[in-house]
Structure 1
């Protein structure tokens, strides 16, 4: 076990931000000593007229575990007759949402979620390096790059750990690199940093509170921040209340649109070839969805292959091969049910705040004209400002780069869980179950399986705060301790209460370093330091004055 080396930011003069998304992924980079940020806008097999991100898609052939294409090339390759047995994987980021993953079908070809994400990130990163070699980073080697990878704030500690594992396996950093060379930042935090940088006209002052509504393809995350005025006018933020989110992003609009199209076309044709149907969905996703604001009808030209290019069918709104999507059916059947989920999230979050100065909509779905209109209608009277920053779809990617330049811009976070360990406590008759009673040799009566709280859910936590606990081990044995978490409103009393929302989330293994002056079996005191205020849970061990990193195994 190696010492935890001090991290030197000057070793990494290039900052790379990566937004790995449910439907699209993007990247940006900058030199650490410069303000300008370069977006990656060229992607393989993608025309210049489409979105400046690449689709998060993988293509595998047959039952092979080897990815053959990624991004837009994967989607186009699927249309070739030779790839009829191919498997196209998309929206697989949802497998890291533990609330959804249990209801999703298993990944094909015996692939794991780490396999799939690392396959995509490996090719994504190779293309990123190629594009950077043609820009301002051309004089730097990849081992001088520092990475900021964005994750949903609603993700569990296990999901974040799997994302880090995927990034390492994909070759962004090496296993032996310092942990801080790869930083995870929550997507709404990255967006908040971007809004502060690019929204000076909104004039947020010290003490003002604002909400970030980060609406992407799969997830919608909300966090309320409070502005802090600091030395020389630099503004920092602290998370004001416990944020929350759900999987209710724009892919659920796409699913509802698929259902509507199938319903409309059912009466006009017996079957729709898959590539023709996908062509219509592309028109909806790239044209109709971003433009729709709830006021006008929209139209889709049906492909000639459907043999409907010159037909008229008033029942479904088909006129000489042009299908009409009325404002009412788009609003009622496609957009409004999903937008209502977002409005309910905002409504819940606003109940936790006394006064809110602004709501910023960011992300691909956050750029929706209809979502902006509905948020303005619902909350415009109660909030001073509902706004969409410039290039809202790139807010998270660019914010990640800004975060890499100054990781201390967010000073306080609010934990979404109770964290603690298993312990014993005084047994209380009539409260503690009889089977938990322990009678010690000294006659004292204790209750087993008690939840000893390290971190209180919903209470602000400084990013540098750490919990220190004393342990001991007998040389050269390693130490293993379990960490429990709960998302309950009330403080949990027991660790063995999964039906009440308590579960063991991790085991920390603390290997014993080689200590030349210590005898076999000798007792060694050690301190365990747990940092809960960072985006990722970090655990260190201090043994004989030296700090060591630990191995953490997160449980599903």
Structure 2
């Protein structure tokens, strides 16, 4: 998604929103948006405008031979995003009318950006031949985030497939942070001359850096940037001290490398190190994404890691790897057969009360004994390999009550170490509620019982669920925004 959108906020002026998709990442410390605006609405407005443009182009080129319902959509998301953030993208797509509530869930696919890039690389990278059981890392260095994941190639009679070796992870350290570092450098230079730059000239200088320096920077030459004309230039006490000459400002390769590029590239090093420590025998690292197209990033990663016997290459047209990979994912969504669980998932259960172990507040008395009603039952461990079509099933018995919904709360544990025994343990939180309409009839007595079988698919890019009752399948929704669900979904 491009990093800016224009929105009419019912005023006489318009406000440009930049990099607003990053605000869905709960772990990213960011400045507030410049105006009060609903984030999901802003994303939906962008998607709606983009969809209208693309649909119009397709219809014009194909003489209106397509129906809106013929389209399948595939949206890419960072690997580090939480289930809640991914669900917010789905809600934005609904709000943008790309899909509706009655569509099959697979009419809109969400795929992580490094996974989309991996599909592209597996088809388009000819620099080396990946054989059965070979492993490769995709480093998707984009504008806002850098996402990484390691895949293993599986060659079978049915074709070539990919299996996750490590759980994808990343950080907000994409190329826009180069822009921020450069902006601070410029402000410091002018501040040393007693000049506080106004936003307009400052933003123009940063734009010149983005267009003329960032794409071609290599650590063997200095760079001069044209400065916008303005009164601020006459306020500089000693232009030569900050290397201003004839309306241009010189930036040395040393300061650009140390002040602008190094802080970001060192974060990329750290992310690659973490992946390599989790995945042995990695054959290659493939750089993709807009930042992945940087010659400087490629040279630095090679300098850092080629000594380990790993081949570092850049995918052809790296800036298009994710979007083209998303098309491949939509055409053949089952190329990835196994994924690694990002965290531990489970449910709350009642178990026999253990004196001296279970807390007194967790005790609940029943006619047939004392039970601890806040015990955690793990369904999928963090780091566990899960087949994409693997069904994890649990059954709950419900009595007829006053609610119109049957709920199965899903809990997640994001920490490391042993899985806790209780749902209120540190690091445990209520991720979401799986909801299905109650099947009790008005004539059923209050003590009527029904057995619901909840079937969950956690190995996909989004958690999916269906419910079986008396052999029939019922549609289930996953609510990340219920009053009970923890607002710190991860």
d(CA) in 1 for partners of 2:434, 2:31? 29
Does residue 305 (structure 1) correspond to residue 230 (structure 2)? The answer is: yes
- Report how far residue 135 of structure 1 moved: 4.0
Q: Which residue of 2 aligns with 1:488?
A: 415
Does residue 400 (structure 1) correspond to residue 326 (structure 2)? The answer is: yes
Are the aligned partners of 1:421 and 1:451 in contact in 2 as well (CA < 8 Å)? yes
* SS class of match (2:325): helix
Does residue 365 (structure 1) correspond to residue 291 (structure 2)? The answer is: yes
Q: Structure 2 matches for 1:257-336, cutoff 5 A?
A: 257-268=182-193, 270-306=195-231, 308=233, 313-336=239-262
The equivalent position to 2:24 in structure 1, one of 96, 108, 117, is: 96
Does residue 59 (structure 1) correspond to residue 14 (structure 2)? The answer is: no
Q: Which residue of 1 aligns with 2:340?
A: 414
- Report how far residue 134 of structure 1 moved: 4.3
d(CA) in 1 for partners of 2:211, 2:421? 51
Aligned residues: 477
Q: Which residue of 2 aligns with 1:452?
A: 377
- Report how far residue 210 of structure 1 moved: 0.6
Post-superposition CA distance 1:18-71 (Å, at most 9, x none): xx3xxx2xxxxxxxxxxxxxxxxxxxxxxxxxxxxxxx223345xx368xxxxx
d(CA) in 2 for partners of 1:335, 1:252? 9
* SS class of match (2:308): coil
Relative distance call for 1:324 and 1:107 in structure 2 (3 A) is closer
Unaligned residue ranges in structure 1 (runs of 5+)? 1-19, 25-55, 67-81
- Report how far residue 371 of structure 1 moved: 1.5
- Report how far residue 175 of structure 1 moved: 2.1
- Report how far residue 356 of structure 1 moved: 0.5
- Report how far residue 270 of structure 1 moved: 3.1
Q: Which residue of 2 aligns with 1:255?
A: 180
- Report how far residue 441 of structure 1 moved: 3.3
d(CA) in 1 for partners of 2:152, 2:69? 36
Are the aligned partners of 1:359 and 1:383 in contact in 2 as well (CA < 8 Å)? no
Larger mean CA deviation between 219-228 and 431-440 belongs to 431-440
User: Normalising to structure 2: TM-score of the pair?
Assistant: 0.91
- Report how far residue 132 of structure 1 moved: 2.5
d(CA) in 1 for partners of 2:81, 2:98? 21
Q: Which residue of 2 aligns with 1:472?
A: 397
d(CA) in 2 for partners of 1:92, 1:302? 28
- Report how far residue 91 of structure 1 moved: 1.2
* SS class of match (2:278): coil
Unaligned residue ranges in structure 2 (runs of 5+)? none
* SS class of match (1:214): strand
Does residue 461 (structure 1) correspond to residue 389 (structure 2)? The answer is: no
The equivalent position to 2:160 in structure 1, one of 235, 240, 259, is: 235
Q: Structure 2 matches for 1:527-542, cutoff 5 A?
A: 527-542=453-468
d(CA) in 2 for partners of 1:201, 1:59? 41
- Report how far residue 281 of structure 1 moved: 1.2
* SS class of match (1:289): coil
d(CA) in 2 for partners of 1:315, 1:182? 56
- Report how far residue 340 of structure 1 moved: 0.5
Does residue 117 (structure 1) correspond to residue 43 (structure 2)? The answer is: yes
Q: Which residue of 2 aligns with 1:142?
A: 68
Relative distance call for 1:107 and 1:297 in structure 2 (3 A) is closer
* SS class of match (1:381): helix
* SS class of match (1:342): helix
- Report how far residue 93 of structure 1 moved: 1.3
Relative distance call for 1:207 and 1:138 in structure 2 (3 A) is farther
- Report how far residue 136 of structure 1 moved: 5.9
Does residue 153 (structure 1) correspond to residue 79 (structure 2)? The answer is: yes
Are the aligned partners of 1:150 and 1:184 in contact in 2 as well (CA < 8 Å)? yes
Relative distance call for 1:242 and 1:118 in structure 2 (3 A) is same
Are the aligned partners of 1:107 and 1:113 in contact in 2 as well (CA < 8 Å)? no
* SS class of match (1:98): coil
Are the aligned partners of 2:195 and 2:232 in contact in 1 as well (CA < 8 Å)? no
Relative distance call for 1:325 and 1:548 in structure 2 (3 A) is same
Q: Structure 2 matches for 1:121-132, cutoff 5 A?
A: 121-132=47-58
Relative distance call for 1:439 and 1:548 in structure 2 (3 A) is closer
* SS class of match (1:509): strand
Q: Which residue of 2 aligns with 1:188?
A: 114
Are the aligned partners of 1:297 and 1:324 in contact in 2 as well (CA < 8 Å)? yes
Q: Structure 2 matches for 1:171-182, cutoff 5 A?
A: 171-182=97-108
Post-superposition CA distance 1:118-163 (Å, at most 9, x none): 1111112112223333446863232211111111111111111110
d(CA) in 1 for partners of 2:445, 2:349? 28
- Report how far residue 450 of structure 1 moved: 1.4
- Report how far residue 246 of structure 1 moved: 1.4
d(CA) in 2 for partners of 1:548, 1:523? 17
* SS class of match (1:351): helix
Does residue 245 (structure 1) correspond to residue 170 (structure 2)? The answer is: yes
User: Normalising to structure 1: TM-score of the pair?
Assistant: 0.81
Are the aligned partners of 1:248 and 1:342 in contact in 2 as well (CA < 8 Å)? yes
* SS class of match (2:453): strand
Q: Which residue of 2 aligns with 1:507?
A: 433
Q: Which residue of 2 aligns with 1:75?
A: none
* SS class of match (1:494): coil
- Report how far residue 515 of structure 1 moved: 6.9
d(CA) in 2 for partners of 1:545, 1:137? 45
* SS class of match (1:171): coil
Relative distance call for 1:106 and 1:434 in structure 2 (3 A) is farther
- RMSD between superposed Cα atoms in Å: 2.4
Post-superposition CA distance 1:157-187 (Å, at most 9, x none): 1111110000111121122211110011111
The equivalent position to 2:128 in structure 1, one of 202, 206, 209, is: 202
- Report how far residue 317 of structure 1 moved: 1.3
Are the aligned partners of 1:361 and 1:387 in contact in 2 as well (CA < 8 Å)? yes
